[in-house]
Structure 1
Amino acid sequence: MFSYATKGVCSRKITFDIVDGKLHNVQFEGGCPGNLLAISKLVEGKDALEIAELLAGNDCRGRGTSCADQLSHAIKANI
C-alpha cells in the first residue's frame, strides 16, 4: 500500500495500491467525502498511468491543484 501526504487541498492523505499497473483501494483521508468516494470508485481497477495523466492539472477553486490532481502526483511518485 502506498501513502501520499497531500499538499494544498482539504484531504490530508491518499492511500492506494497498484497491482500489475492497476489502481486499487484508493482512499482519501479528509476532504469532500462524496466527491472523493466517487473518484475512488471511478478509478478502481483502471490503469494507474492513464488515471495519472487524466487527472493531472485538475484545479480546485484556483488553488493550482485539487484532490484529483494530488492523486495524479501520488501515482507518479510511486510508479
Structure 2
Amino acid sequence: MSKEFSFPNKGTCSKQTNFVLNDDHTIASIEVIGGCNGNLKGICQLLTGMKAEDAIARLDGTLCGFRSTSCPDQIAKNLKKALEEMN
C-alpha cells in the first residue's frame, strides 16, 4: 500500500513537493514543482527507491545561498511531515 502527499515549499524558488511513500517508507515517486528544473529532476531520480529516513538524513539542513533553507531541505521537511502523518 502507498500514500500520496503534497506539501507547499517555503522560502525557495520551488513551490511544491509531491510524492508517494510506500508503507515501508520507500519513496515510490517524487516531483518538485518550480525551482531549478534539471537539478530537481536529478535529485528526484536519486531519491526514488530510497527510504524517506535516509533521504531526510542526507538533505536536512542543506542551504541555498543566503537563504535559511533550500529545495533539498524543503524535501526533507516535507518527508518528515509525511512520516508523522503515516504514524
TM-score range, shorter chain: over 0.9
Number of aligned residue pairs: 79
User: What is the letter of the counterpart of residue 51 of structure 1?
Assistant: A
Percent of paired sites with the same residue: 35
Tell me how far apart the structure 2 counterparts of residues 3 and 27 of structure 1 sit (CA, whole Å): 9
CA offset at residue 26 of structure 1?
0.6
SS where residue 14 of structure 1 aligns? strand
Q: Which runs of 4+ in 1 moved over 3 A?
A: none
Q: TM-score if structure 2 supplies the norm length?
A: 0.88
Structure 1 residue aligned with 2:15? 12
Unaligned runs of 5+ in 2: none
Unaligned runs of 5+ in 1: none
Q: TM-score if structure 1 supplies the norm length?
A: 0.96
User: What is the letter of the counterpart of residue 41 of structure 2?
Assistant: L
Select 2:51's aligned residue among 31, 47, 53: 47
User: What is the letter of the counterpart of residue 10 of structure 1?
Assistant: C
For residues 8-47 of structure 1, what are the alpha-carbon distances to aligned partners after superposition, in whole Å with 9 as ceiling and x for unaligned? 0000000001102101211011110000000000011001
Structure 1 residue aligned with 2:30? 26
Q: RMSD between aligned alpha carbons?
A: 0.6
User: What is the letter of the counterpart of residue 35 of structure 1?
Assistant: N
**Larger Rg: 1 or 2?**
2
User: What is the letter of the counterpart of residue 48 of structure 2?
Assistant: E
